[in-house]
Structure 1
Amino acid sequence: MNKFLFVDLDDTLFHSLRKCDTRDELRPIAFLKDGSANSYTNGRQRAFLAMVGQGMTLIPTTARDRDGLARVDYPFTHYRIVDFGGIILAPDGQPDPVWLARMRDDMATALPGLRQVLAVIDDYARRAGMPARARLVEDLGLPFYVNVKDPERDMARLDAIEREAVAPWLAGQGGDFCLHRNGNNLAVLPKRLNKARAVEYLQARLRDEHGEIMTFGMGDSRSDARFMAACDYAIIPNGTQLSALTVGAL
């Protein structure tokens, strides 16, 4: 039976240097556009990758876009899910045309709301004297979600943006959208954009190609739980947001 691991990347398989224990033997695995390393693996993470690489096919299931995934130094050779599930790349690197057409329709519907919440966040940040600015994240010409980070990693300022700007908008005009928050990363996504939809679509495709399959889901964030629940088994790294909300809470 073919086994597939749908796996988130950042804070699941590797970490930024700030989140690493510098006593570990760290090796760079992901890089910025200028070629400098910005994410690293420790020995346990490398051992895990070696273990699952022997018996499973890894399918990255990430918020990274195509360019960000290409700067990860790992040989992903099968399907790849990027942009929070907005794009599915086939093994040859080309976007799955059926999924792309579906997302094109969904994101055209979502675009007015994305522009609206972007303006709401920027207006609040300006009035509050905050340096944070929202941006509309796009890939393959499609708008997917609004993202905002604080350049000084001031969580209190992001908390205020979430509480005073985003939450009221979601409760009012933004009923078709949801919030993703993990540390210094705040994103507003259309509900039609989610990793679980892409995983379920790809699972059906894999069954057509391989017959009966076994699937595993792995992630660090609360937002990953939904796609992990669509798999036969779930793997949660210790010390993560999702771990604290599940096994850590018990």
Structure 2
Amino acid sequence: MRLISFVDLDDTLFSTRRKLPAHLQDTELEHVSVNTRGEAHGFRTAKQAALFTQLCRLGPVIPVTGRSAQAFARVRLPFSHARVLDHGATLLAADGAPDAVYAAQTGERLAQHARDFSTLAQDLSRQVRLHFPGLQVRLHEVHGQPLYLVVKHPQRQMGALTELAHSWQEQLGSDSRWHLFSNDSTLTLMQACVSKRGAVQHLQTTLDPRGEALTLGFGDTLSDVGFMAACDIALTPGRSQIMRVLEAMHHVHS
């Protein structure tokens, strides 16, 4: 049976040194990505390397990431098939060319609420600068349309991000046009009309129209759950955000 793996990158196939087990020596780690200054930034363990190698032997391995095309270019792993970028807003073929059909559909969806999202992003950005001066906020555009607003804390102090997330959630209410999610270092508000899940489902239809392949979904954060659920089997690292949430739920009900 054919196997297709849809795999998140950061904190799944590799991580920053800070997030890797402290007992590992630097000589035990492989450098697989760089930052904007060209400095070593992402590292993988021998086990992560073995996972990637085995998956590549079994079938196509397709990265599914929030990284932009520029950020993805800083990853030094040999992907040879399609890739999902920009949280699902960008879908590239194996040769790096955009999927024309998917790009047209995505552009139309993003344009539908672009003005409202831009206005909302400007208002929320002002709130961040006024009430949370230690946080960094930036609006990201894709295909000429606003896609998501991301907030980071330089010192990775989650208290401020958590407080901001609660504030935003109250303001957004049940508006289904927007999707709010967070991880260990960022808070992101995104147009909900595009997603990693939608991109993966598009690829599944394209690569496996009869649905005969076994599909695996690998991810580490709650924002990955959607595309993982679109696969036959979902897997997550033991130290992931997903596992922390599941463990907390287990303790509550045990």
**TM-score under structure 2 length normalisation:** 0.91
Could you say what secondary structure the match of 1:121 adopts? helix
Give the Cα separation in 1 of the matches to 2:161 and 2:112: 27
Give the Cα separation in 1 of the matches to 2:211 and 2:188: 36
Whichever residue aligns with residue 18 of structure 1, its letter is: R
**TM-score under structure 1 length normalisation:** 0.92
Q: Which residue of structure 1 lines up, in the alignment, with residue 146 of structure 2?
A: 143
Q: Which residue of structure 1 lines up, in the alignment, with residue 131 of structure 2?
A: 128
Q: Which residue of structure 1 lines up, in the alignment, with residue 225 of structure 2?
A: 225
| Structure 1 pair 55–16 and aligned structure 2 pair: CA distance change class (3 A) | same
| Structure 1 pair 188–144 and aligned structure 2 pair: CA distance change class (3 A) | same
Q: Does residue 246 in structure 1 map to residue 254 in structure 2?
A: no
| Structure 1 pair 142–119 and aligned structure 2 pair: CA distance change class (3 A) | closer
Contact 1:4 1:214 in 2 (8 A): yes
Give the Cα separation in 1 of the matches to 2:132 and 2:180: 23
- Residue 169 (structure 1) shift: 2.6
Whichever residue aligns with residue 188 of structure 2, its letter is: A
Residue range with higher mean Cα deviation, 118-127 or 91-100: 118-127
Contact 1:118 1:135 in 2 (8 A): no
Whichever residue aligns with residue 215 of structure 1, its letter is: T
Q: Which residue of structure 1 lines up, in the alignment, with residue 14 of structure 2?
A: 14
| Structure 1 pair 206–248 and aligned structure 2 pair: CA distance change class (3 A) | farther
1:1-250 correspondence to structure 2 within 5 Å: 1-24=1-24, 25-164=28-167, 166-171=168-173, 174-208=175-209, 212-246=212-246, 249-250=249-250
Could you say what secondary structure the match of 2:75 adopts? coil
Post-superposition CA distance 1:193-234 (Å, at most 9, x none) = 2111111111000124x8732211010011111111111111
Query: What is the aligned-residue RMSD (CA, Å)?
Result: 1.8
Size of the aligned set, in residue pairs, is: 247
Contact 2:135 2:154 in 1 (8 A): yes
Whichever residue aligns with residue 232 of structure 2, its letter is: D
Could you say what secondary structure the match of 2:113 adopts? helix
Contact 1:66 1:139 in 2 (8 A): no
- Residue 52 (structure 1) shift: 1.4
Contact 2:136 2:154 in 1 (8 A): no
- Residue 8 (structure 1) shift: 0.5
The unaligned stretches of length 5 or more in structure 1 are none
Could you say what secondary structure the match of 1:246 adopts? helix
Give the Cα separation in 2 of the matches to 1:52 and 1:190: 32
Give the Cα separation in 2 of the matches to 1:68 and 1:221: 19
Identity of aligned residues (%): 32
Contact 2:5 2:215 in 1 (8 A): yes
- Residue 126 (structure 1) shift: 2.7
| Structure 1 pair 216–129 and aligned structure 2 pair: CA distance change class (3 A) | closer
| Structure 1 pair 94–238 and aligned structure 2 pair: CA distance change class (3 A) | same
Give the Cα separation in 1 of the matches to 2:239 and 2:248: 8
Give the Cα separation in 1 of the matches to 2:96 and 2:213: 22
